[in-house]
Amino acid sequence: MRFFYTLGIRIYGLGIRMAALGNPKAGQWVSGRKKWKQELSSAQALKGCIWFHCASLGEFEQGRSLLEKLKRTYPSKPILLTFFSPSGYLIRKNYDQADHIAYLPLDTPKNARIFLDKVKPDLAIFVKYEVWPNFFAAIAKRNIPLLMISAIFSENQIYFKPYGKWFRKSLKQTHEIFTQDVESINLLNSIGVVNTRIAGDTRFDRVIEIAKKTPDFPELEQFTRNKPTIVAGSTWPADEELLAKYAQKHPEVRFIIAPHETYSDHIKTILQKFPEAVRWSEKERIGTGNTVIIDSIGLLSAIYKYGSIAYVGGGFGSGIHNTLEPAVYGMPVIFGPEYKNFREAIALSDVGAGKSIKNYKELENFLNELLESKELLAKMSSIAAQFVKENAGATDIILEEIKKILN
């Protein structure tokens, strides 16, 4: 089976190279790996490092709290951070808490052997879904402890299919799999994977850390003071259509819109939908209308704190964005109908801190209900804050196990 898997991986790599001729992202994937051997050889000494691997930016943010705690706990130990996707590497290639940042080479036995010969880690940590059988086998052969953190499993994954026996070996080669939930533990146990432990989702720890460190924006403080405010994050056109309609009917409500795409033409389109809006980049004009459009990236997690209610975009497309970022500030979270693959959104809805809407009428009715009932708004806000607090702590659970390994 390994032969066929590796052949498939090689064909995948060839396909990416062909796609790179006309696709910039595929081109970055290829060019970033061209000199990986030389880059590892020329990097500062990595022997005995802690190796952190993430698929992309989302997984990096998920594991970031643990990485930074490890850096503080073991300051003399190098940290190697690898990514599979360009979207993670390109944004975090200058991240100062890692001693070396690189792409993970294609998962072949030869690449895995060369990589580990050069790096010689004391510990490998893979975040969430990342399972690469050739790397896992090479790690196990060298008796390097391997952890999976914030892992989550579902019965439709190959490990739980009749033909997935070979892939299960990779899971059994880990030192421990820290899962987000008990359902994942039960699934793993059902196929004989018993090196498991429930720790929870490290994203809760991350959003709490972010909330403690966010900068203040006096312009938004003044804009929202004593005003009901809806902060809409990572919005797409379908979200913006609904919000604009409500904003026009309710000029007494303040809006802060942080769209997922901030390129110029999209911002112009949003401004047309919100006639009273001003751009964040025109700070001197903030307050002349009831809406601020955030036309810069990287501010959303800090801006949510100025809201009374949060709206998280993406629910009328392929799926919603991060609902924990607003929930940590203690506010109701509204999102569209496509949220069933997002556990935290389901949980927020179940506990009474989140609400899914299918159309404008549902949005209008729910916003009116919240804004007319201080009791309901306060109740949902309190539940949201408590939900995040109660689910925090995964980072410390994992860190205690790592201390046992490294000490």
Residue 159 C-beta-side C-alpha neighbours within 13 Å: 21
Choose among 250, 358, 232, 348: nearest CA to 294.
232
Radius of gyration of the chain, Cα coordinates, nearest whole angstrom: 23
End-to-end CA distance of the chain: 37
**Is residue 26 within 8 Å of 50, Cβ to Cβ?**
no
Residue 309 C-beta-side C-alpha neighbours within 13 Å: 27
**Is residue 45 within 8 Å of 78, Cβ to Cβ?**
yes
User: Side by side, which strands form the sheet with 50-54?
Assistant: 100-103, 79-83, 50-54, 123-127, 146-151, 176-179, 196-198
Reported residue count of the chain is 407
Q: How far apart are alpha carbons 327 and 354 in whole angstroms?
A: 9
Catalytic residue among 59, 130, 325, 344: 59
Annotated catalytic residue 241:
no
Distances, alpha carbon 278 to alpha carbons 33, 119, 234, 282, in Å: 43, 51, 18, 7
Q: How far apart are alpha carbons 34 and 240 in whole angstroms?
A: 41
Give the distance, in angstroms, between the CA of residue 370 and the centroid of all CA atoms in the same chain: 29
DSSP-derived pairing of the beta strands 196-198 and 333-335:
unpaired
**Is residue 348 within 8 Å of 384, Cβ to Cβ?**
yes
Which residue type is seen at 233?
Answer: G
Q: Which residues are catalytic?
A: 59
